[in-house]
Amino acid sequence: MSIEFDNNLPIYLQIMTYLKKQIIIGNLQPGDKIPSVRELAAELQINPNTVQRTFQELEREGIVETRRGLGRYVTSEESKIMTIKKEMAGELLERFIRGMQELGFKDQDIVSIVEDAVKEP
Protein backbone atom coordinates (compact mmCIF):
# COMPACT_ATOMS: atom_id res chain seq x y z
CA MET A 1 0.00 0.00 0.00
CA SER A 2 1.41 3.39 -0.89
CA ILE A 3 -0.18 6.74 -0.28
CA GLU A 4 1.22 10.12 -1.36
CA PHE A 5 0.39 12.23 1.65
CA ASP A 6 -0.84 15.80 1.16
CA ASN A 7 0.53 18.15 3.80
CA ASN A 8 -2.71 20.17 3.69
CA LEU A 9 -4.94 17.35 4.96
CA PRO A 10 -4.77 15.31 8.16
CA ILE A 11 -3.09 11.96 7.49
CA TYR A 12 -5.88 9.95 9.12
CA LEU A 13 -8.41 11.45 6.69
CA GLN A 14 -6.20 10.58 3.74
CA ILE A 15 -5.89 6.99 4.94
CA MET A 16 -9.67 6.82 5.43
CA THR A 17 -10.25 8.04 1.88
CA TYR A 18 -7.72 5.56 0.52
CA LEU A 19 -9.31 2.62 2.36
CA LYS A 20 -12.82 3.68 1.33
CA LYS A 21 -11.71 3.80 -2.32
CA GLN A 22 -10.16 0.34 -1.99
CA ILE A 23 -13.48 -0.95 -0.68
CA ILE A 24 -15.51 0.78 -3.40
CA ILE A 25 -13.37 -0.49 -6.28
CA GLY A 26 -13.33 -4.00 -4.83
CA ASN A 27 -9.68 -4.33 -3.80
CA LEU A 28 -11.02 -4.80 -0.28
CA GLN A 29 -14.11 -7.00 -0.30
CA PRO A 30 -16.86 -7.19 2.32
CA GLY A 31 -15.60 -9.41 5.13
CA ASP A 32 -11.92 -8.98 4.23
CA LYS A 33 -9.48 -8.59 7.10
CA ILE A 34 -7.64 -5.28 7.08
CA PRO A 35 -4.07 -4.82 8.32
CA SER A 36 -3.50 -4.31 12.03
CA VAL A 37 -2.62 -0.91 13.46
CA ARG A 38 1.02 -1.93 13.78
CA GLU A 39 1.22 -3.42 10.29
CA LEU A 40 -0.32 -0.40 8.60
CA ALA A 41 1.70 2.09 10.66
CA ALA A 42 4.93 0.28 9.76
CA GLU A 43 3.98 0.01 6.08
CA LEU A 44 3.09 3.71 5.80
CA GLN A 45 5.83 4.81 8.20
CA ILE A 46 3.45 6.79 10.38
CA ASN A 47 2.52 6.92 14.04
CA PRO A 48 0.32 3.99 15.15
CA ASN A 49 -1.97 6.49 16.92
CA THR A 50 -2.80 7.97 13.50
CA VAL A 51 -3.79 4.54 12.19
CA GLN A 52 -5.79 3.88 15.35
CA ARG A 53 -7.71 7.12 14.83
CA THR A 54 -8.38 6.14 11.22
CA PHE A 55 -9.78 2.78 12.27
CA GLN A 56 -11.90 4.33 15.03
CA GLU A 57 -13.47 6.73 12.51
CA LEU A 58 -14.08 3.92 10.02
CA GLU A 59 -15.74 1.89 12.78
CA ARG A 60 -17.84 4.86 13.85
CA GLU A 61 -19.05 5.16 10.24
CA GLY A 62 -19.81 1.44 10.16
CA ILE A 63 -17.34 0.70 7.38
CA VAL A 64 -15.03 -1.46 9.48
CA GLU A 65 -15.96 -3.79 12.32
CA THR A 66 -13.78 -5.24 15.05
CA ARG A 67 -14.05 -8.91 15.87
CA ARG A 68 -12.61 -9.43 19.33
CA GLY A 69 -9.40 -11.42 19.15
CA LEU A 70 -9.52 -11.65 15.36
CA GLY A 71 -8.88 -8.13 14.10
CA ARG A 72 -10.73 -5.63 11.95
CA TYR A 73 -12.77 -6.46 8.91
CA VAL A 74 -14.55 -4.63 6.11
CA THR A 75 -18.27 -4.50 6.84
CA SER A 76 -20.41 -7.15 5.20
CA GLU A 77 -23.28 -4.68 4.85
CA GLU A 78 -23.52 -3.90 1.14
CA SER A 79 -25.80 -0.95 1.91
CA LYS A 80 -22.99 0.75 3.89
CA ILE A 81 -20.59 0.28 0.99
CA MET A 82 -23.14 1.69 -1.47
CA THR A 83 -23.67 4.68 0.84
CA ILE A 84 -19.91 5.37 0.88
CA LYS A 85 -19.79 5.07 -2.90
CA LYS A 86 -22.63 7.57 -3.33
CA GLU A 87 -21.09 9.98 -0.80
CA MET A 88 -17.71 9.91 -2.54
CA ALA A 89 -19.36 10.35 -5.94
CA GLY A 90 -21.31 13.32 -4.58
CA GLU A 91 -18.12 14.93 -3.27
CA LEU A 92 -16.36 14.47 -6.62
CA LEU A 93 -19.34 15.85 -8.49
CA GLU A 94 -19.62 18.83 -6.16
CA ARG A 95 -15.94 19.73 -6.68
CA PHE A 96 -16.29 19.32 -10.44
CA ILE A 97 -19.39 21.52 -10.65
CA ARG A 98 -17.86 24.19 -8.41
CA GLY A 99 -14.71 24.21 -10.55
CA MET A 100 -16.72 24.52 -13.77
CA GLN A 101 -18.79 27.35 -12.28
CA GLU A 102 -15.59 29.14 -11.26
CA LEU A 103 -14.53 28.90 -14.91
CA GLY A 104 -17.75 30.69 -15.84
CA PHE A 105 -19.81 27.77 -17.12
CA LYS A 106 -23.56 27.87 -16.61
CA ASP A 107 -25.34 24.80 -15.25
CA GLN A 108 -26.77 23.82 -18.64
CA ASP A 109 -23.32 24.12 -20.23
CA ILE A 110 -21.91 21.80 -17.57
CA VAL A 111 -24.67 19.26 -18.24
CA SER A 112 -23.96 19.41 -22.00
CA ILE A 113 -20.23 18.94 -21.47
CA VAL A 114 -20.82 15.93 -19.22
CA GLU A 115 -23.34 14.39 -21.64
CA ASP A 116 -20.88 14.81 -24.52
CA ALA A 117 -18.06 13.28 -22.48
CA VAL A 118 -20.20 10.28 -21.53
CA LYS A 119 -21.20 9.69 -25.18
CA GLU A 120 -17.58 9.63 -26.39
CA PRO A 121 -16.16 6.11 -26.76
Report the pLDDT value the prediction gives residue 120, as an integer from 0 to 100.
80
Residue 80 exposure: Cα atoms within 13 Å on the Cβ side: 17
Tens digit of pLDDT for each residue in 63-107?
999 999 999 999 999 999 999 999 999 999 999 999 999 999 999
- The answer to pTM > 0.85 is no
Report the pLDDT value the prediction gives residue 65, as an integer from 0 to 100.
96
Pick the more confident residue, 7 or 120: 7
pLDDT band at 26 (very low <50, low <70, confident <90, very high): very high
